[in-house]
Amino acid sequence: MSQRTCLAIVLAAGEGTRMRTSLPKALHAIGGRTLLEHVLTAAAGDEIAIVVGPDHGAVASAAKAIAPKAQIFEQRDRLGTAHAVLAAKDAIARKPDDILVMFADTPLVRPETLAQLRAALSAGAAVAVLGFKPADPTGYGRLVMQGAELTAIREERDASADERKIGFVNGGLMALSGEHALTILQRIGNANAKGEYYLTDAVAIARDMGLKAVAIETAEDDVLGINTKAQLAQAEAVLQTRLRSAAMDAGVTMIAPETVFLSADTKFGKDVIIEPNVVFGPGVTVDDGAVIRSFSHLEGAHVGKGARVGPYARLRPGADLGEDVHIGNFVEVKAAKIEAGAKANHLSYIGDARVGPGANIGAGTITCNYDGIAKHHTDIGAGAFIGSNSALVAPVKIGDGAYVGSGSVVTKDVPADALVVARAEQTVKVGWAKRLRQIKAMGKGLAKKK
């Protein structure tokens, strides 16, 4: 089957009004990835055509960024799903073996489910649809079966009372044989309750042409469509369950998986432990044996082998932790390479920096990377020791093995193995406090006598 060519047509012309936002529906995200990207990822490997609505430049450019070879077609008027598919007529006319129609608002369909649809085509069907049995079929197109064969799909509004009782419904996605697709699609009319060109009529038309249509049953999750923010959250929950299970199947230990939030692209090595309440934004890789402790937030970060992060750590994009690095509570790292064995255990900000191997960053250390106009780099050498509450004013370089005295504000480079103390010198006035107390006591005594 892999020899067969496939065109995936993604319908993304939905206006998403029920989402109540200005963002096009296809660009909402679950698992750190847009709905559109989920669908395009599921269709990866196929030729892709995306049908967008008018003024959907943002959707088109997002699609191009994910699938540069995708062809973009515009559906000017929303006249129905079949009309939307026909916007991609030029691609259909090239007669790929298989055509998959996918909806940008149905992001949870799995590649293996799509493969099942295509397998039905290679087994001889001209039309294959995804069916499922929801608790409540209201609103869905009903699948009218005759034995193993699908004879028609009846939309809710057009269904008879008897047909409405059918519990097996259309998930929306459809596979069409490329050989017959254009003929079938062009025969679809709009004589129905909504006056729309229904893609679902492809079934009855194929049958009239003496061709075969089948329905493949799938899990409801696969075809969960998103029209509202509540459904977006529902899809997020389904996706998170899938991602957590996949991570645990691959050997990740999660103490309370239901409190860990992953992105579709989060990558884990072996023997990783994740404590409760951790959030992984997009672009995170965690290597073997690392431990991510509670209440940490990571995005665009790499955690090296055996490293320890958190509790309460924040790794922002460009944080790159080497082997056995420790990043502790209330430490924020951004665009910084922390090399093997270095430690920043408490209350620090390390941004636009390199921290050499084995260096120790004391509590409260801040790299002052921003002067209000531009960002500057801090370089901390191997084995350097940065005393607590130091401010390293970038651009600045601390040499290998150097010591920075606590509370220093370092504005100039420090040579290797040197000590820098950049703070006011300590002065001690012997007996001063005692004298102060005596003076105060005398004052109080006078006040009492009055």
Instruction: Tell me which residues are annotated as active site.
Output: 346
Binding partner selected for residue 89 from ligand UD1, Mg ion, none, CB under the kind-specific 5 to 8 Å limit: none
Rounded least distance, CB 45 to ligand UD1, Å: 22
Q: Strand 142-146 to strand 273-274: parallel, antiparallel, or no bridges (unpaired)?
A: unpaired
Q: Strand 278-280 to strand 260-261: parallel, antiparallel, or no bridges (unpaired)?
A: parallel
Rounded least distance, CB 53 to Mg ion, Å: 15
Amino acid found at 446:
L
Q: Rounded CA gap, 28 and 366, in Å?
A: 36
Select from 167, 225, 276, 317 the one that contacts Mg ion (CB under 5 A).
Answer: 225
Q: Rounded CA gap, 409 and 363, in Å?
A: 14
Site pattern 68..87 for ligand UD1 (x: CB under 6 A): -------x--xxxx-xx---
For residues 239 and 7, the answer to whether their CB atoms sit within 8 Å is no
For residues 130 and 222, the answer to whether their CB atoms sit within 8 Å is yes
Q: What SS3 state is found at 75?
A: coil
Binding partner selected for residue 79 from Mg ion, ligand UD1, none, CB under the kind-specific 5 to 8 Å limit: ligand UD1
Stretch that binds Mg ion, among 147-155, 223-231, 354-362, 398-406 (CB under 5 A): 223-231
Rounded least distance, CB 51 to ligand UD1, Å: 6
Quick check: 324 binds ligand UD1 (CB under 6 A)? no
Half-sphere exposure of 89 (CA within 13 A, CB side): 11
Rounded least distance, CB 207 to ligand UD1, Å: 16
138 burial via Cβ count (<10 Å: 0-12, 13-18, 19+): exposed
Rank residues 215 and 410 by Cβ distance to ligand UD1 and give the closer one: 215
Rank residues 225 and 283 by Cβ distance to Mg ion and give the closer one: 225
Rank residues 72 and 284 by Cβ distance to ligand UD1 and give the closer one: 72
Rank residues 156 and 236 by Cβ distance to ligand UD1 and give the closer one: 156
For residues 395 and 378, the answer to whether their CB atoms sit within 8 Å is yes
Quick check: 405 binds Mg ion (CB under 5 A)? no
- Within 8 A by CB and 6+ apart from 440, the residues are none
End-to-end CA distance of the chain: 105
* Token reading at 408: 């220093």
Q: Which of 366, 286, 372 is nearest to 334 (CA)?
A: 366
Rounded least distance, CB 98 to ligand UD1, Å: 19
Q: Specify the DSSP class assigned to residue 17.
A: G
Query: Using CB under 5 A, which residues numbered 156 to 195 contact Mg ion?
Result: none
Select from 132, 140, 261, 349 the one that contacts ligand UD1 (CB under 6 A).
Answer: 140
Rounded least distance, CB 225 to ligand UD1, Å: 4
Size of site (CB under 6 A) for ligand UD1? 26
Rounded least distance, CB 293 to ligand UD1, Å: 41
Query: Using CB under 6 A, which residues numbered 21 to 60 contact ligand UD1?
Result: 51
422 forms beta bridges with: none
Query: Using CB under 6 A, which residues numbered 352 to 371 contact ligand UD1?
Result: none
Q: Which long-range contacts (CB under 8 A, 24 or more apart) does 344-351 make?
A: 350/378, 351/316, 351/375
Quick check: 134 binds Mg ion (CB under 5 A)? no
Q: Rounded CA gap, 15 and 227, in Å?
A: 10
Query: Using CB under 6 A, which residues numbered 203 to 262 contact ligand UD1?
Result: 225
For residues 414 and 398, the answer to whether their CB atoms sit within 8 Å is yes
Quick check: 328 binds ligand UD1 (CB under 6 A)? no
Site pattern 84..113 for ligand UD1 (x: CB under 6 A): x------------------xxx--------
Quick check: 185 binds ligand UD1 (CB under 6 A)? no
- Within 8 A by CB and 6+ apart from 388, the residues are 362, 363, 364, 365, 406, 407
Residues in the site for ligand UD1, rule: CB under 6 A? 11, 13-14, 51, 75, 78-81, 83-84, 103-105, 140-141, 153, 155, 169-172, 198-200, 225
Residues in the site for Mg ion, rule: CB under 5 A? 225
